[in-house]
């Protein structure tokens, strides 16, 4: 670098900057399903940490959180969007997320908003109470009531800016109807009810309009092949098919590339929306319990798998970055900012931002 004059250096860094902004660069991000409950100082910790890793997207959920400490994060508890009855809305969570998205934006980060979860449905939220986990996906009254929820969220007016979320592409990367729809019903059920996903995406897309600058996303399933159902590739309302995968085989570049090619020829984008490297040594990265892996082994898993996903050209969101030390509760893929594995994740995310992507996300990132 000593060879460059000051002006040559300036030119070089301008070129480097324009390269970063180029159409085909990949990116990384993270999930934090309970981000609505973060305090302002936790938000600063999370977003400045994510920014230092070049991360561009945070995926959040709307389901209520009753515990004051989740994964070691001290959060404000908040109710679900619909608690007493389907169609009766408590906007607390939406108002909390209004503040989260303002803060995120200052760090160059947008939100991916998951508007409901299989977890809440199967855990007996109001939809679970009224419909159970089967009729919810099958009965016309359930789907039309759920569509009303989606429309309510898309039309929520930001409580300080006054703009409806559906017009806030500066803050919002994408919307998905439900985290891991139908997941506990098994793969055959998901295959048989693919239309549920396309129908919800159509509701979302129709409300957003075709030039919203906000992506319509699927929300993922258990693993790669289950996450990429054939009719979703031909559903015009779906922009992005989310991959959730924790099995090591699904992290192989050559396996991912097959899906990339299918998605590209169908005109869809892929996002590796949930993945992680387990803290324990359980076989196949299956992570309920086990013996603690040596830090160096976990870090090399993290580094290798991230680079394999990046090499296939697919942007990824880690499950999850915490704004506190990871307390190592049960299913433990998390990495706290400042934990021993944080710098490895940081490097992997920065490398993604410099790499070429198979899909052009540039219009959707800050
Ligand atoms: C929904 O529709 C089904 C079938 O038509 C009916 O049996 C059920 O009572 C309805 N449920 C609600 C909550 O409206
Ligand atoms: C781990 O994955 C391999 C290959 O897919 C499989 O044969 C094996 O049964 C898996 N082990 C467990 C414990 O799931």
- What does pLDDT average to in each consecutive run of 10 residues of the chain (366 residues)? 36 44 82 97 98 98 88 94 97 98 98 98 97 97 98 98 98 98 97 98 97 98 98 98 97 98 98 97 85 96 98 98 91 94 98 98 97
Chain centre distance of CA 176 = 9
The whole-angstrom separation of Cα 178 and Cα 114 is 6
> From the CA of 131, how far away is ligand 1's center (Å)?
8
Which tokens go with 3?
Answer: 């060879």
Beta carbon of 139 within 6 Å of any ligand 1 atom: yes
Domain boundaries, the chain: 35-364
> From the CA of 14, how far away is ligand 1's center (Å)?
61
CATH homologous superfamily of 35-364 equals: Glycosidases (3.20.20.80)
Query: For residue 213, how many other CB atoms are within 10 A of its CB?
Result: 14
> From the CA of 243, how far away is ligand 2's center (Å)?
20
Residue located nearest, by CA, to atom 3 of ligand 2: 284
Beta carbon of 247 within 6 Å of any ligand 2 atom: no
Beta carbon of 189 within 6 Å of any ligand 1 atom: no
> From the CA of 122, how far away is ligand 1's center (Å)?
18
Position 23 scores a pLDDT of 52
What are the start-end ranges of the H helices in 160-311?
A: 187-192, 194-208, 224-227, 230-233, 253-265, 295-311
Beta carbon of 288 within 6 Å of any ligand 2 atom: no
What Rg, from alpha-carbon coordinates, does the chain have?
Answer: 20
Q: Which ligand is nearest to the CA of 246?
A: 2
Position 3 scores a pLDDT of 32
Q: Which ligand is nearest to the CA of 145?
A: 1
Which tokens go with 140?
Answer: 């016309």
Beta strands in the chain (DSSP E): 28-31, 57-61, 69-70, 73-74, 110-114, 172-176, 215-217, 240-244, 269-275, 316-318, 321-322, 335-336
Atom of ligand 1 nearest to the CA of 142: 1
Which tokens go with 133?
Answer: 């986990």
Position 58 scores a pLDDT of 98
> From the CA of 254, how far away is ligand 2's center (Å)?
19
Beta carbon of 141 within 6 Å of any ligand 1 atom: yes
Q: Which ligand is nearest to the CA of 132?
A: 1
| 193 closest CA partner among 133, 249, 281 | 133
Q: Which DSSP state fits 65?
A: B
Atom of ligand 1 nearest to the CA of 130: 13
The whole-angstrom separation of Cα 324 and Cα 282 is 24
> From the CA of 141, how far away is ligand 1's center (Å)?
6
């Amino acid at each position: 670098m000593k060879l460059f004059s000051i002006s040559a250096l300036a030119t070089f860094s301008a070129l480097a900057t324009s390269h970063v902004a180029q159409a085909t660069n990949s990116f990384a991000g993270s999930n934090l399903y309970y981000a609505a409950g973060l305090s302002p100082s936790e938000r600063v910790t999370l977003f400045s940490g994510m920014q230092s890793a070049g991360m561009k997207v945070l995926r959040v959920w709307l389901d209520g959180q009753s515990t004051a400490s989740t994964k070691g994060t001290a959060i404000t508890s908040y109710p679900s969007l619909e608690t007493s009855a389907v169609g009766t809305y408590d906007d607390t969570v939406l108002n909390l997320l209004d503040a989260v998205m303002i803060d995120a934006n200052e760090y160059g980060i947008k939100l991916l908003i998951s508007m409901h979860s299989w977890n809440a449905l199967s855990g007996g939220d109001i939809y679970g109470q009224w419909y159970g986990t089967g009729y919810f996906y099958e009965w016309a009254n359930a789907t039309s009531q759920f569509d009303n929820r989606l429309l309510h969220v898309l039309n929520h007016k930001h409580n300080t800016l006054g703009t409806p979320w559906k017009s806030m592409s500066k803050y919002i990367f994408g919307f998905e109807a439900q985290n891991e729809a139908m997941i506990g019903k098994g793969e055959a059920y998901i295959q048989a009810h693919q239309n549920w996903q396309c129908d919800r995406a159509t509701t979302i897309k129709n409300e957003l309009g075709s030039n919203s600058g906000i992506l319509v996303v699927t929300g993922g399933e258990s693993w790669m092949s289950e996450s990429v159902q054939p009719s979703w590739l031909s559903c015009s309302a779906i922009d992005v098919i989310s991959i959730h995968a924790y099995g090591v085989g699904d992290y192989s570049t050559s396996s991912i590339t097959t899906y990339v090619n299918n998605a590209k020829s169908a005109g869809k984008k892929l996002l590796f929306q949930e993945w992680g490297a387990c803290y324990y040594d359980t076989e196949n990265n299956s992570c309920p319990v086990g013996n603690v892996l040596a830090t160096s082994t976990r870090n090399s898993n993290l580094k290798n798998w991230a680079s394999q996903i990046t090499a296939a050209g697919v942007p990824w969101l880690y499950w999850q970055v915490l704004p506190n030390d990871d307390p190592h509760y049960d299913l433990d893929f998390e990495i706290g900012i400042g934990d021993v594995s944080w710098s490895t994740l940081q490097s992997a995310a920065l490398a993604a931002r410099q790499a070429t992507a198979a899909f052009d996300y540039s219009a959707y990132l800050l």
